[in-house]
Chains A and B, each alone.
Chain A
Amino acid sequence: MKDNCICVLMVCCVCNTPLHGLDFFVFLCFSDVNSNSVAQKIYVEVNNTVPCVRLLNATHQIGCQSSISGDTGVIHVLESEADLEWPLTKGPNPPYMILLESHLFTRSIMMKIKKESSRIAGVTVVVPNTSPSEFSPHTTCPNENTGVYSDTYGPHLAHCNTTVWNPLGNGLSYEEFDFPVFSLKEDKQCYYDHNRVVNGSAPQYPLCAMQLFSHMFAVTDTATCMRRNDVINFSINPEMVCDPLGDFNVWGSIRPYNRSQLGHRDNESVVMAAARLDSRAFFWDVSTGAEGSISGFVTLLAAAHALRDVTQVAPPTHNILFAFFQGEAFDYIGSSRMVYDMQNGKFVIDLDNVHSLLEIGQVKRLVDNFQSSATGANFSLVEPGVSQPLPPSSLQRFLRAQNIPGIVLADHRAAFNNKYYESYYDNADNLNLRYPPNMTAEEQLEFLTDTAMALTEVATVVARALYKQAGGDGTQVDNIKADSKTVTQMLFGFLVQANNSWFQALIPPELKDMLSDPPDFYVGVASSSPAKAKPLTRLVQFLLANLTGTATNLTQDQCQKPDDLPDESVQMYSYLWVQGTVPHNGTEKGPFCVRASVRLSQALSPAFDLGEYASRNYSTWTESRWKFIKARIFLVASRDLEMLTLGVGVAVLFSSLLVTYFISTKADVLFSSAREPASAAY
């Protein structure tokens, strides 16, 4: 413990602060007698800090960085853009820590701050309660260098020359800041007490200041940090500097594939259906992507569920493979990996086996003004002309490798309808997920929202389209209907509360802690084993397994070792032991074993396997490592007081040296009558 450095005697040091003059340490305080110290009088630790971290790719580093011992600045609450003058030029107490309301977190303000960053220690953004009218920190042209359009292929369509997909994007997520930027809960009391600027005059010391720690280890670009990673074998203090982004893709199929047979399959033609899982935001690990990705993959999960029964009864000619890609926000990590695996015979099928691909993009607004009484599809599908390029989608990676017929289903003809693309505000409110007031969580779980009904319509259409595309029996098409209860439960689980009874029933009992709120959809750093995949990925894996697989009678031991049984094969299926529901009427269903042809495949960019860290073809995104990230608030004293203290100290030291020397040389004169008293008999 820092605050008991000299305490060899543990007992007295449990109670600490010095009351100078008091001969042992107890802190006289009126709240609690234990565990107080001087540090607690000084610093207030800020909880729940959300930093902006550094990400690197082949050419750039983006994100934010603090110095290794933290950045301290006097807090200044910005009231308007004009108010920037005070911290940037006029204020007498630099460096400043700027506190922004979320509506002031704009590109122009951040760029101005970035230019004068010598006077700025950092920026904190107050966590907002309501969303602004529009905000997207992503670029205007997402994934423009790794799609299918390039200078050699459709140059008039590349780099958003024809269609700007994200016109509201201000590109803040892809800027580099050399000061820390944090997102914190509002705490302006200290500022109002100490730092207010009255009539243009400077506030008096002591001033309220904040210190932010978010030191990132990696610099420059991915090639540099991966090279430094490799050096750790020879250094005394091995410490990795950065990690590649990635996770696992979830895929499943109607008819199972033997996973030990990889590469091309003769006479096999597969209809693929794809959706993306991940999203991102400016700050680390707080993205939701409700409209950007959740609407898409929930629809696909519902479609897969809808196809389960009809494909048992009347199997289609072609197989249907559902793929959920992770890491698509960062130059298509998941889909590029799957295409690479297909090209190199590392996947159960290869590109020649792919018949066509249907991708579900952002589909929230496909069904506007949903009428609950109407039946049938309430929307019509419109195909834009051939001059319209494909939006950023996983299909582009497949097309980059091979000409495959494909469709991207989206609710926007040209620019996105999503006003909060890849931002913190793309949440349940953006999807208009409304529940009546005064409902418990369980009741909300079951409630059929309008959004859920809308997405169910889309899922039904998608399922029917897939079935027909796969050559299914035309008479069966009308029997295909997506289940709106499933859709609304999925939306509730992913957007409101993951720890609900339905999700708990789908996963193994020991993974219950996975359902923490709120679920985060940032792809994060890659891990080597599927057991360590992100909670979102595993949740989608279990969902797909439960929705497309069958319940079996296997016991738990048999579920873990199904090869002992004659009919089961771990090569063809995966066997998952799940919790099962506990209905309220007491008939315990209990855990059971689900058999499904659902697997995880690694979603790590091929650039890292090939060692091409400066690759232009594949995603090269890495995330820097850091030691700790924290923030604290305290008062700072004026420089004058500090120098005064030092001056007084030096004066005391020198004068005491002089006086002591003088007295000790004259001691015989001063204490001359030092006669020993008669030695008493002690």
Chain B
Amino acid sequence: MTAAVFFGCAFIAFGPAFSLFIFTIAKDPLRVIILIAGAFFWLVSLLLSSLVWFIAMKATNAQDLNLQKGLLIFGCMFSVILQEVFRFGYYRLLRKANEGLAAISEEESSPISVREMAYVAGLGFGIMSGAFSMINTLSDSLGPGTVGMFGDSQYYFITSALMTLALTLLHTFWGVVFFDGCERKRWWVIVAVLCLHLVVSGLSLLNPLYVGSVPPVYVIMLLMAVWAFFSSGGSLHNLSLLWTCRKSNAETSS
């Protein structure tokens, strides 16, 4: 619409990812490398899945709309599955790398734990996915017009940004939970992540119901946040420790 909408949507979509990057990733070069490699893995999965969809689309009749819609749904699901496969592949790669890192480090153990790698990998997936979701839309939001001429909702840009935000964080949480499930050989975790990912992607197939697809995704995101918190070593006890720690700090300082 204008510069205001451009910056507003950019901040909504990439604000948390940006702050996560600055405060947790940027200082550690190893984390940066894992982040970028994770983004690359996501990119490759997208390339392969869209190649499959593109070939299928070109090989069939472009005029048959139902078939094209069916191909779209198939392509969407196939892409989700392929992304999770690549996430698993990245997990294997990072495990291998972990042994190498442990070998060359001065200390006994690897400088980075699997949990941290899980978080960084998930964030890498999320950032790249968010970029692909949003950059296209952002560039069109700079012009003077807004969506709505053909009956779409005029909140298109805001809901796009909110969905991108949710998706970035969801990928982060999925990364944490997925790697933890792989570590502890809990295969039902992997299946659960895959199913949740399919549900979230499937919600976008409900478009042009733009505004309506946002609340369910946020509910799922909150649930995943809680799950990821607990699977990465958090607990209610820690939360209460945090609270009393702050309280005691406040008491001692006052």
Binding site for B on A (CB under 8 A): 2-6, 9, 11-12, 14-26, 28, 30, 32-34, 37-39, 41-44, 70, 72, 190, 206, 209, 211, 632-637, 641-650, 652-653, 656-657, 659-661, 664, 666, 669-677, 680, 682
Contact = CB atoms under 8 A, between A and B. Distances in A.
Given A23-B79, A33-B72, A649 B233 contact: no
Contacts of B163: 20-21
Interface string B4-35: 11011111100110111011100000000000
Contact of B19 (A206, A660, A674): A660
Nearest to A39: B140
Contacts of B4: 642-643, 645-646
B136 A649 contact: no
B132 A17 contact: no
B54 A11 contact: yes
B48 to A, nearest CB: 9
A3 B159 CA distance: 19
A656 B136 CA distance: 24
26 contacts: A9-B47, A12-B46, A12-B54, A14-B54, A16-B136, A18-B160, A20-B163, A21-B217, A22-B205, A23-B129, A26-B76, A30-B65, A33-B68, A37-B140, A41-B147, A42-B148, A70-B144, A72-B144, A635-B154, A645-B5, A653-B11, A656-B16, A657-B23, A660-B22, A673-B234, A674-B113
A194 to B, nearest CB: 9
A666 B238 CA distance: 10
Given A11-B54, A19-B205, A20-B204, A670 B238 contact: yes
Interface string B147-182: 111101010111111011101000000000000001
Given A636-B146, A652-B15, A5 B207 contact: no
Interface string B122-148: 000000010111111101100111111
Centre residue among B92, B146, B167 by max chain A CB count within 10 A: B146
B241 interface: yes
B190 interface: no
A372 B164 CA distance: 79
Chain B interface category by residue count: 35 or more
Interface string B65-91: 100110010011001100100000000
A4 B139 CA distance: 9
Interface in B189-231: 200-201, 203-205, 207, 213, 217, 229
Contacts of A19: 204-205, 207
B23 A660 contact: yes
Nearest to A664: B23
A674 B233 contact: yes
Given A637-B1, A671-B238, A653 B18 contact: yes
A72 B7 CA distance: 21
Contact of A42 (B72, B147, B241): B147
Contact of B234 (A6, A22, A670): A670
B165 A652 contact: yes
Contacts of A37: 136, 140
B131 A6 contact: yes
A551 to B, nearest CB: 54
Contacts of A636: 1, 144-146
Shortest Cβ-Cβ A-B pairs, 4 listed = A634-B145, A21-B204, A649-B11, A12-B50
A22 B10 CA distance: 18
Contacts of A28: 69, 72, 205, 207
B15 A653 contact: yes
Contacts of B185: 680
A642 B4 CA distance: 6
B62 A20 contact: no
B201 A41 contact: no
Contacts of A43: 143, 145, 149
Contacts of A211: 144-145
A18 B134 contact: yes
A5 B136 contact: yes
Nearest to B144: A72
Contacts of B1: 636-637, 642
Contacts of B75: 24, 26
A276 B1 CA distance: 51
Contact of B43 (A9, A41, A659, A682): A9
B5 A660 contact: no
A42 B143 contact: yes
A26 B135 CA distance: 15
A34 B62 CA distance: 9
A87 B62 CA distance: 47
Contacts of A673: 233-235, 238
A37 to B, nearest CB: 7
B57 interface: yes
A25 B158 contact: no
Given A209-B144, A659-B19, 5 more contacts: A12-B51, A18-B137, A19-B205, A634-B149, A673-B235
Contact of A209 (B65, B115, B129, B145): B145
Contacts of B234: 670-671, 673
Contacts of B156: 38, 41
Contacts of B12: 645, 648-649, 652-653
A666 B113 CA distance: 18
Contacts of B200: 21
A646 B10 CA distance: 9
Contact of B154 (A39, A641, A669): A641
A652 B135 CA distance: 18
Given A22-B205, A670-B242, A2 B139 contact: yes
Contacts of A26: 53, 72, 75-76
Contact of A637 (B137, B146, B232, B241): B146
Contacts of B136: 3-6, 16-18, 25, 37-38
Contact of B80 (A23, A660, A664, A676): A23
Contacts of B139: 2-3, 5
A47 to B, nearest CB: 16
A589 B192 CA distance: 83
A43 B54 CA distance: 27
A39 B136 CA distance: 9
A12 B158 contact: no
Given A637-B154, A641-B154, A649-B9, A672 B72 contact: no
Nearest to A637: B146
A649 B50 contact: no
Given A648-B12, A677-B184, A24 B164 contact: no
B132 A25 contact: yes
A15 B238 contact: no
Contact of B232 (A3, A15, A641, A674): A674
Contacts of B248: none
Contacts of B37: none
A633 B1 CA distance: 13
Contact of B204 (A14, A22, A637): A22
Contacts of A18: 132-134, 136-137, 160
Contacts of B165: 652
A190 B150 CA distance: 10
Nearest to A44: B149
Nearest to B75: A26
B9 A645 contact: yes
A567 B148 CA distance: 74
Given A42-B145, A653-B11, A22 B113 contact: no
Contacts of B43: 9
B178 to A, nearest CB: 14
B54 A657 contact: no
Contacts of A645: 4-5, 8-9, 12, 157-158
B46 A682 contact: no
A124 to B, nearest CB: 17
Contacts of A664: 23-24
A669 B146 contact: no
A22 B167 CA distance: 9
Nearest to A9: B47
Contact of B152 (A15, A41, A44, A648): A41
